[in-house]
Amino acid sequence: MADDRRDGAGGAPVGEPASGSSWRSVLVSYRWPLAVVALGLVALAFYLVTVHQARQAATEMGELIGAAADRAESAARNFLTADVTELFIASIPEIATGGSGRLELATAEFTETFTRTDERRILWDSLSLGTTVTEIKVPVTYRYHVRLDDPWRLEVSGQTCVVYAPPIRPSQPPAIHTQAMERRADESWLRFDAEEQLDALQRSITPKLIARARDPRHLALVREPGRKAVAEFVRAWLLREDQWRSDRFYAIKVVFPDEEVEDAGRLDVTILLEDG
Among 93-107, 165-179, 224-238, the least confident range:
93-107
pLDDT digits (tens, 9 = 90+) for 186-206: 866 555 677 888 889 999 999
Model confidence at 7: pLDDT above 50? no
Q: Would you list the DSSP string of 133-145?
A: EEEEEEEEEEEEE
pLDDT digits (tens, 9 = 90+) for 110-141: 999 999 887 666 666 665 566 778 899 999 99
pLDDT of residue 10: 47
Among 220-229, 246-255, 258-267, the least confident range:
258-267
Who wins on pLDDT, 265 or 157? 157
pLDDT digits (tens, 9 = 90+) for 8-54: 444 444 444 455 566 566 556 666 666 666 677 766 766 666 766 76
CA angle, 28 as apex, 22 and 29 as ends, to 5°?
90
Question: Ramachandran region of residue 123, left (φ > 0), alpha (ψ -120 to 50) or beta?
Answer: left
pLDDT of residue 12: 45
pLDDT, average across residues 223-249: 92
pLDDT of residue 164: 94
Tell me the percentage of the chain whose pLDDT exceeds 70: 62
Tell how many helices (H) and how many strands (E) occur in the chain: 6, 8
pLDDT digits (tens, 9 = 90+) for 152-185: 999 888 889 999 999 999 999 999 999 999 999 8
Question: Ramachandran region of residue 54, left (φ > 0), alpha (ψ -120 to 50) or beta?
Answer: alpha
User: Where does the pLDDT of residue 272 fall: very low under 50, low under 70, confident under 90, or very high at 90 and above?
Assistant: very high
Report how far residue 235's alpha carbon sits from residue 249's, in angstroms, rounded to the nearest whole number. Answer: 9
pLDDT of residue 174: 95
Domain ranges of the chain: 28-80, 84-275
Q: Which residues, in sequence order, are bridge partners of residue 175?
A: 141
Longest dimension (CA), the chain: 184
Provide, for the chain, the percentages of residues in helix, strand and coil under a 3-state DSSP scheme, each rounded to the nearest 5.
45, 30, 25
What is the average pLDDT score of the chain? 78
